[in-house]
Structure 1
Amino acid sequence: MGASLADAPPPVSKETQQAPKPDELWHLSLNDSASETIVLLHGLGSSHDEWMLVWPHLTGYHLLVPDLPGHSNSAHLAPASIPAQAAQVVALIRDHAHGGTAHVVGLSMGGFVALETARTQPELARCVFATGCAPFAGWRLGAARHTGLLGALRTGFDMLPVRLCDWVSDTAWAAQGMVVPDELRRELKRNSSAELLKEVFSSIVLLEAEALQDVKVRTLAVAGGKGDDVEATRRQGALLEQGCEESKAVVVQQAVHPWDLQLPEVFAGGITAWIEGRALPEEYEDLSQK
């Protein structure tokens, strides 16, 4: 079942909003009394508000929820390449996670950042939950290699009348069963940038699939059955398993690409089960057995 706006938590108090140094990520810190930290990393063009429907289901954990470089309150931080973003997340974990380590969760761009964080600094990542971030293949790889065209499409869309853009977005979100809080809608508009899109996609293309073997941290790679490349995720899981035999790949058949906005309770349930070493919810189908 999809979420509703009624599921969203009350506005975050100013006490949970961190005023970072000029060169570090802006972030929220929630549930500070909890002993273990989860870092939640959003997708391209999004913001920390992407997780508004998920964090009410993670109250047993301390949460660090940043705006990644080039986005919203961290828009001043550059570059926004995947390695640069991962370096910022490393600093965030070292400086603000309880015990200097964290479980790292990422969706889409945030998933690539989560994997790069774990690959480069495995001692900081207790486990990884990464969805919608299989190495690009097929038409996805072709599109990502033509960032000029992607940027032109983004610019063209932004030139449409505001009401038309809103109608197109609302229609697409509703068709996918997604709920997009007003706060996130504003940030998606704010982060709509052809330059940001080109920078991020260009850096994803440079990531080598074989490098996944170097991720020594227990990692769950997840594909949304209605929006992600399931076969690429299966291959991703096999590579990750070479780095850590406990890693695996799964598919949530009813999930779209940004399914934290579609099935937030199922999303959070998978996170907590993976962290705690329990059986995953029934919606998570093991790809290694197919």
Structure 2
Amino acid sequence: MTSDCDQHHYVALPHLEVNREAKQTILLIHGATGDGTTWNLVTPHLPGYHLLVPDLPGHGIARQHPFSVVHASNILSQLILDRAHNRVVYVVGFSLGAHVAMHLVSHHPEVANCVLVSGFQVFPPTALTSYLPHAIWLEQRIEYAIPQSWTRWAMDGINIPRPDLSMCTLDYNRQVFGHSDSTEQWPRAWPARTLVIAAGKGGLVPSNDRPQDALKLATIGQHLNSATRAVTHPDMRHPWIWQAPELFAETVRLWFEESTVPDGFVSLARDH
């Protein structure tokens, strides 16, 4: 990984580059409590692309820098200008990374030529919202008391990495889950063709995404690009980058190259 920081200004994100010789660049944006290694099972299946794989601020090697969606979006745009071929990328965002991706492509549309996001969800605030960072802090620690074999059994054998508790402090949870900045929940319309994916499988563990949020996001995008669409997969859970990394990579490739998706995906209708 490379990084470029000084004590006064955060200049560039730590990031991994893969397949530098490939002609087109994909930017992979990880989710909450993760880092660039989130994509380790996916990247081997994208050999035809130059891959930029950063750690978001507040995460991984960049954990000493505060996180906000706006800040992450701004410095990702600079990373693209500095490192992407032709200063433009295909953007892929997962979970929290989907929110960062949407802010990026709606506020810096010149750096994105196509987009895929999975796990974009907006939960309306309630009277308990202010307690969410504390609840997540507790959940993250309880997770270590549960045998991983139980978690794998409940999640169809998915081996999900446990969070790094030294990173997942209460302050971190306030930044990521507390909505302490004024970022809009929904992005303004953006021009890049976009695939919005909502994982469809729940069950014992409520690991499905909110299809109504995926559909609403796609509808916003269709104002500037009618090819933007929302889909779901009934067998995929929210963390399907670990459940089916080869399928995830195939979905990325087909959407970017052919404007289509693999078999098994279902278009989301407006009655969701």
CA distance in 1, matches of 2:222, 2:112: 16
Return the offset for 1:172: 2.7
Give the structure 2 partner of residue 126 of structure 1: 113
| Aligned 8 A contact 2:215 2:270 in 1 | no
CA distance in 1, matches of 2:258, 2:52: 21
| Aligned 8 A contact 2:69 2:99 in 1 | yes
Name whichever of 89-98 and 270-279 sits farther off: 270-279
- Map 1:93-104 → 2, pairs under 5 A: 93-104=80-91
Confirm whether residue 149 of structure 1 aligns to residue 137 of structure 2. Answer: no
Give the structure 1 partner of residue 18 of structure 2: 30
- Can you give the 5+ residue segments of structure 2 that lack an aligned partner in the other structure? 202-207
CA distance in 2, matches of 1:190, 1:174: 27
Deviations 1:101-138 (A, max 9, x none): 1111001110011111100111101111011114x1xx
Give the structure 2 partner of residue 196 of structure 1: 172
CA distance in 1, matches of 2:194, 2:124: 23
Aligned pair in 2 of structure 1 residues 203, 116: CA closer, same or farther (>3 Å)?
A: farther
Give the number of aligned pairs. 260
Higher relative contact order (CA 8 A, sep 6+): 1
TM-score of the aligned structures, taking structure 1 as reference length: 0.82
Return the offset for 1:204: 8.1
- From 243, 266, 272, the equivalent of 1:285 is 266
Deviations 1:185-210 (A, max 9, x none): 4x63343222222222305884243x
| Aligned 8 A contact 2:35 2:59 in 1 | yes
| 4+ long deviations beyond 4 Å | 203-206
Give the structure 2 partner of residue 40 of structure 1: 28
Give the structure 1 partner of residue 199 of structure 2: 224
CA distance in 2, matches of 1:199, 1:103: 27
Aligned pair in 2 of structure 1 residues 167, 208: CA closer, same or farther (>3 Å)?
A: closer
CA distance in 2, matches of 1:204, 1:61: 34
Deviations 1:11-59 (A, max 9, x none): xxxxxx2243342210100011101110110111111111111001111
TM-score of the aligned structures, taking structure 2 as reference length: 0.87
- Aligned partner letter, 1:197: N
Confirm whether residue 18 of structure 1 aligns to residue 13 of structure 2. Answer: no
Give the structure 1 partner of residue 71 of structure 2: 84
Confirm whether residue 268 of structure 1 aligns to residue 249 of structure 2. Answer: yes
- Percent identity reads 29
Give the structure 2 partner of residue 10 of structure 1: none
Confirm whether residue 175 of structure 1 aligns to residue 157 of structure 2. Answer: no
CA distance in 1, matches of 2:181, 2:43: 27
More helix by share: 1
Aligned pair in 2 of structure 1 residues 173, 149: CA closer, same or farther (>3 Å)?
A: farther
Return the offset for 1:285: 1.3
- From 172, 180, 184, the equivalent of 1:207 is 184
CA distance in 1, matches of 2:2, 2:64: 16
Give the structure 2 partner of residue 60 of structure 1: 48
